[in-house]
A and B are shown apart, each in its own frame.
Chain A
């Protein structure tokens, strides 16, 4: 391993392959610069330009999808990024989430008196970070994406300057997030020390050398630290404590953004690191993921039940969803690498797609019910929603039932996918714990449903500010409901799409 002797050669850059990032970066910068040099734009325009950028990205990704189907997946730019269906699937999910979140942000920022291009700029930067994480084929590159994402997230959490809770959320997220990034970076360093490289391909190739040189323990400590860092990002127990506070304090559309884009990016990174870079150590990390999954499921669902604030409830429910997604990761870990036999990776990615849409829809409604000031998120604020806005209540019912995993909604397909993956690998205990904790979590969704549909009105209900459903938010909610039900009734196409993600760019070829 005489790495130092290699002379530096600038890698050739496949511009088309990184077009999604370039479009977002260019579009985001233009948006920020142009908006700061011109007087305030007419309403909707910031949001519409963001959506246009995201749509352009998705269109390009669709072309890339076809090209990858024809020519095969590969590693690009000096083995730094993976250009495969896995990446494309992830990019579609984050861009879809960006579109939906922009729709619900549009009216929100005007309602809260914080209209401007900044929040959209930060969204776009965060999405670029997410894409880097999803495509990464090198731990350092992954870390760059992670930091881009995280720093945007910290600012976004604190972006409502008028609310102390938002500031608090930002600071909490920043301190704890910085801590976890440090863990991750330390893990990267130890892996480098143990295997001699941060590149996924070379990490795999180094396995024989590592086991001969007995430097395995250093790698194992590195794997543990990487797991801590990634578990923090996906809000898996016992590294989940930041999530309820941050979810509750952040502006509601931003919370939706964390729960959709943040989860997608972090889980994609987890799959890349664990399944693609470290399949040789799968027997070491898989039991850890198993334990984390069980803890996450149980803690997430049980803590959710005792909450009284809906945003906090949904934060815990997102933790329990993370537990479900971890089941898919664990199942993927049984086979490791990019074996087409595994249901783990497709089910994880399908879950992330479905959950992203579901959670944005849910938080869109929470944002509407939150009213001016974004503060009415106690369970009582939902009382009588069915009488005031029956359609809104119906939409939230669909989302909550889907999150509970009731059949004929997308949530059931997602859950069934990971359960099948776990059962296929004979992880029966995990599957049963997951389903039982889903029942506990169902109680939480029922509580919100009871408040909406069944609770008797109380004094003071009439004096609350009237609910206003802006058109852009209505579009987002409508899309999310349609998607949730369509996938519930006819998931075939989406399952097929998710099954292509196992065609991961072969890391070994980059070594």
Chain B
């Protein structure tokens, strides 16, 4: 606690632009890595690790400097960028983005340390660091133009990572990923331009500043609906929501392990985060009016993802489909628009990043050993590699949402929060929790139980290095499951602020939990 306050004072006193550093340090690392000589691969790797760890350290320092009870944007840095178009370099962090930034900062070094790309390490590491900068920028931007720049620039490193270091149909998967996401962004770009130019009437000037637009703009209801849809398409592709999800199984499956970890861990959250930050915040009325569409698609995604995951033959594809289901819960919570459901959604973003990131790492380890991910080719691993199996079990249980582990907290909050405002959607969605147990436990049973056959007899036990990479994940899974309060304390104020912003703008009254809801729902 003293360290945290000290850090906070230090940051405030020196005015060190923490958030700008979060974006620029990885870029610097990428440039440095790209310009190093290929003959000393160990130096290249060391540089990449140092820069990503340094970024992670800054993000943890930022967590320390964060003022818990403050709902607004903190550590803001704002500079003119393209003044003739009203665009500024405007970064800030609040409870909604705080842990996503920390997750990004921590996940990247682990992915870099934990996964070996096998060839062309230099460009691989450079692309990963650039990707980190792009993701950081997207979570921190408070300027529509700046956000779009980061949101779109993220595609390029990911495209090259999937295409260059992926498996099987890597080029097909990379191209599909790029074009799908770009189609979504195409609508968002027009939406951004329209939002800004239409807001000129009520603001009196052209600005891309998110906070100004959200507070002072005043759109006609039908206009706002179209603008909201333009943004929503981009986010729905990114999440991905049914029926725009088809890029995800391919991209996840063919991506290299580090790519999958980052893709599932943080990049999908760009979509759900975007809904909160740019959907609900900018167009509260439109989001409320059209919420039935998004709730329905979220619930379809939950069921569809779970059922499709059950049927998969490839372990990595199974995890990919499970992401569709999990992200469905987050969207459900977002559009249910109660303080509990949104907090649960934000928490679930982090939880999904941790558990699915770890799952992809574990599947990657299986692939390293056996060079296959076919469920039918794997058998009885538990008896030859018990520690590995134990780690897998814990991560899997967190993904299922077993109480005591992190997945439960987020899912439970989403479900009880959503029950107040979106009762029947929640009832259907709750069955997704059971389906998650079905597909994961069944897969576990087929892969780990039984007697190992010839091929699986020599399955190597978890190595030290692998264990050290997994340890932070497991620690986070248990800690958040047992004691989520420190996280919720930071998330809650910003979520409440968002809800009261929606109330101010639309006259929406958040229903209170059961004890006082007798009057509201007679």
Within A395-446, the residues touching B (CB, 8 Å) are 401, 406-408, 412, 416, 419-420, 423-424, 428, 431-432, 435-436, 438-439, 442-443, 446
Could you tell me if A443 and B186 are in contact, using CB atoms closer than 8 angstroms? no
Instruction: Give the distance to chain B from A421, nearest Cβ to Cβ, in Å.
Output: 9
Could you tell me if A431 and B84 are in contact, using CB atoms closer than 8 angstroms? no
Interface residue B374 (Cβ < 8 Å from any Cβ of A): no
Within B139-197, the residues touching A (CB, 8 Å) are 145, 148-150, 152-153, 155-156, 159-160, 163-164, 170-171, 174-175, 178-179, 182-183, 186-187, 189-190, 193-194, 197
Could you tell me if B163 and A454 are in contact, using CB atoms closer than 8 angstroms? yes
Interface residue B82 (Cβ < 8 Å from any Cβ of A): yes
What total count of A-B pairs have CB within 8 Å? 80
Q: How far is the CA of A454 from the CA of B127 in the complex (A)?
A: 14
Interface residue B83 (Cβ < 8 Å from any Cβ of A): yes
Could you tell me if B82 and A491 are in contact, using CB atoms closer than 8 angstroms? yes
Interface residue B85 (Cβ < 8 Å from any Cβ of A): yes
Could you tell me if A435 and B190 are in contact, using CB atoms closer than 8 angstroms? yes
Could you tell me if B149 and A408 are in contact, using CB atoms closer than 8 angstroms? yes
Residue of A with least CB distance to B190: A431
Known: A423-B194, A443-B179. A416 touches B156 (CB 8 A): no
Q: Which residues of A contact B186 (CB under 8 A)?
A: 432, 435-436, 438-439
Which among B82, B159, B187 has the highest number of chain A CB atoms within 10 Å? Answer: B82
Known: A432-B187, A435-B186, A454-B171. A495 touches B153 (CB 8 A): no
Interface residue A492 (Cβ < 8 Å from any Cβ of B): yes
Interface residue A483 (Cβ < 8 Å from any Cβ of B): no
Instruction: Give the distance to chain A from B32, nearest Cβ to Cβ, in Å.
Output: 16
Residue of B with least CB distance to A429: B190
Q: Which residues of A contact B159 (CB under 8 A)?
A: 446
Q: Which residues of B contact A287 (CB under 8 A)?
A: none
Instruction: Give the distance to chain B from A328, nearest Cβ to Cβ, in Å.
Output: 13
Could you tell me if B163 and A416 are in contact, using CB atoms closer than 8 angstroms? no
What's the dominant secondary structure at chain B's contact region? helix
Which among B145, B175, B193 has the highest number of chain A CB atoms within 10 Å? Answer: B193
Q: Which residues of B contact A492 (CB under 8 A)?
A: 81-84
Could you tell me if A423 and B193 are in contact, using CB atoms closer than 8 angstroms? yes
Q: Which residues of A contact B190 (CB under 8 A)?
A: 419, 423, 428, 431-432, 435
Known: A416-B193, A492-B82. A406 touches B175 (CB 8 A): no
Instruction: Give the distance to chain A from B204, nearest Cβ to Cβ, in Å.
Output: 15
- Among B160, B175, B194, the residue within 8 A (CB) of A443 is B175
Interface residue A453 (Cβ < 8 Å from any Cβ of B): yes
Instruction: Give the distance to chain A from B118, nearest Cβ to Cβ, in Å.
Output: 15
Within B47-78, the residues touching A (CB, 8 Å) are none
Could you tell me if A406 and B189 are in contact, using CB atoms closer than 8 angstroms? no
Contact size class for B?
20 to 34
Q: How far is the CA of A453 from the CA of B159 in the complex (A)?
A: 11
Q: Which residues of B contact A443 (CB under 8 A)?
A: 175, 179
- Among B153, B163, B179, the residue within 8 A (CB) of A442 is B179
Instruction: Give the distance to chain B from A42, nearest Cβ to Cβ, in Å.
Output: 36
Instruction: Give the distance to chain A from B144, nearest Cβ to Cβ, in Å.
Output: 11
Residue of A with least CB distance to B165: A454
Q: How far is the CA of A499 from the CA of B160 in the complex (A)?
A: 37
Could you tell me if B194 and A428 are in contact, using CB atoms closer than 8 angstroms? yes
Q: How far is the CA of A432 from the CA of B226 in the complex (A)?
A: 12
Q: Which residues of A contact B179 (CB under 8 A)?
A: 439, 442-443, 446
Q: How far is the CA of A45 from the CA of B164 in the complex (A)?
A: 44
Instruction: Give the distance to chain B from A212, nearest Cβ to Cβ, in Å.
Output: 38
Could you tell me if A439 and B183 are in contact, using CB atoms closer than 8 angstroms? yes
Q: How far is the CA of A496 from the CA of B159 in the complex (A)?
A: 34
Q: Which residues of B contact A431 (CB under 8 A)?
A: 190, 193-194
Q: How far is the CA of A46 from the CA of B386 in the complex (A)?
A: 76
Q: Which residues of A contact B145 (CB under 8 A)?
A: 416
Contact with B along A352-392 (1 / 0, CB 8 A): 00000000000000000000000000000000000000000
Known: A432-B186, A495-B85. A407 touches B164 (CB 8 A): no
Could you tell me if A406 and B153 are in contact, using CB atoms closer than 8 angstroms? yes
Within A469-511, the residues touching B (CB, 8 Å) are 490-492, 495-496, 499
Q: Which residues of B contact A407 (CB under 8 A)?
A: 148-150, 152-153
Q: Which residues of B contact A (CB under 8 A)?
A: 81-85, 145, 148-150, 152-153, 155-156, 159-160, 163-164, 170-171, 174-175, 178-179, 182-183, 186-187, 189-190, 193-194, 197
Closest 8 CB pairs of A and B: A435-B186, A407-B149, A423-B193, A431-B190, A439-B182, A454-B163, A420-B193, A423-B194
Could you list 24 examples of A-B contacts with CB < 8 Å? A406-B156, A407-B148, A407-B149, A407-B152, A416-B145, A423-B190, A423-B193, A424-B193, A431-B194, A432-B187, A435-B186, A435-B187, A438-B186, A439-B179, A439-B183, A442-B178, A446-B179, A450-B163, A453-B160, A453-B164, A454-B164, A454-B171, A492-B81, A495-B82
Q: Which residues of A contact B (CB under 8 A)?
A: 401, 406-408, 412, 416, 419-420, 423-424, 428, 431-432, 435-436, 438-439, 442-443, 446, 450, 453-454, 490-492, 495-496, 499
Contacts A407-B149, A412-B152, A454-B174 supplied; 13 other A-B pairs, CB < 8 Å: A420-B85, A423-B194, A423-B197, A431-B194, A432-B190, A435-B189, A436-B186, A438-B182, A439-B186, A442-B178, A442-B182, A492-B81, A492-B82
